[in-house]
Chains A and B, each alone.
Chain A
Amino acid sequence: MSEAEVFEKVKEIIIDHLGVDEADVKMEASLVDDLKADSLDTVEMIMSLEEEFQIDIEDSEAESLKTVGDAVRFIAERSGK
């Protein structure tokens, strides 16, 4: 799956969980600082991403996903294998 395809799905999940505007979900947006995700939002989004992309994301890996782009690149690489 290409990064662009992953981005579209990740964007949907973020909008679903955080109720933010589509325009605010950019690759460089920080999940916590820009999109105002709290700790529970983050856990819920990770679980949704795991379901959507059929992958496992370890806690240590989840912690390294600070921006939308981090998540997209991580998933594109992981699901490409």
Chain B
Amino acid sequence: MLLKDEVAIITGAARGIGRSIAEKFASQGANLAIIDVNLEAAEQTAGELARQYGVKTMAARTDVSNAEDVDAMVKKVLDTFGRIDILVNNAGVTRDNLMLRMKDEEWDLVININLKGVFVCTRSVVRHMAKARKGNIINIASVVGQMGNAGQANYTASKGGVIALTKTTAREFAGRNVRVNAVAPGFINTAMTEVLSEQVKTEMLRQVPLDRMGEPEDIANGCLFLASGMSAYITGHVLAINGGMLMQ
């Protein structure tokens, strides 16, 4: 087991990619804090993973963009588990619109949760990691944060910001043995992409050399690699998991 007895906080972990990451980590022996805005769903996921994998889990409702909320959550995790080894900043939302139609509220909401949320959660957790001289942070970015996407000014800007924030955090805390990396998923089969029309999906798949949508587990596998000692010499990296959609 690659993460035996380590403690991981995963935001947006009740469903989708976050849940898949949580399940992968649980399968490798990690104890989990399942964080989500939907407490009921978080508790359900926490309960299921605890039963299935025999690890300790807890659930909390947290608005990742609210510092008070986040600090209280981190305290609860420390009170419960006594340590934090891994933080996965996965919580994210979309409010797509062409720029000329995009409202300030749509911009602000997405930037607040996707970008400020990563900053707030990182600031709260990294303090304890720096003190422990050990830690691992994984930020979920997106391929569109690297290449842009019409109709997603807010989302692409937030994810591009997450990539830059990943590199800065990696530089600030490298001396404290805290590694910080990002994963940039491509076109993944989740609730976020489910709502797209068949026409849009066909159009997007045409850009993917491996000719299929990614599955949440494809992302979880990358996260496991970055969370484990297998990637001990990797920090500040953006791991592209996109079926070849963008090659850099």
Contact = CB atoms under 8 A, between A and B. Distances in A.
Interface in A11-57: 38, 40, 44, 47
Contacts of A40: 130, 172-173, 175-176
B130 A47 contact: no
Contact of A47 (B127, B173, B176): B127
A57 B152 CA distance: 41
B131 interface: yes
Contacts of B130: 40, 44
Interface in B156-210: 172-173, 175-176
A40 B174 CA distance: 11
Main secondary structure on A side of the interface with B? helix
Contacts of A44: 127, 130-131
A50 B127 CA distance: 14
B137 to A, nearest CB: 15
A38 B171 CA distance: 14
Contacts of B173: 40
Nearest to B130: A44
A47 B124 CA distance: 13
A44 B128 CA distance: 10
Contacts of B172: 40
A38 B127 contact: no
Contacts of B175: 38, 40
Interface string B99-129: 0000000000000000000000000000100
A76 to B, nearest CB: 25
A38 B176 CA distance: 11
A65 B172 CA distance: 22
Contacts of A38: 175
B100 to A, nearest CB: 41
Interface of B: 127, 130-131, 172-173, 175-176
Interface of A: 38, 40, 44, 47
10 contacts: A38-B175, A40-B130, A40-B172, A40-B173, A40-B175, A40-B176, A44-B127, A44-B130, A44-B131, A47-B127
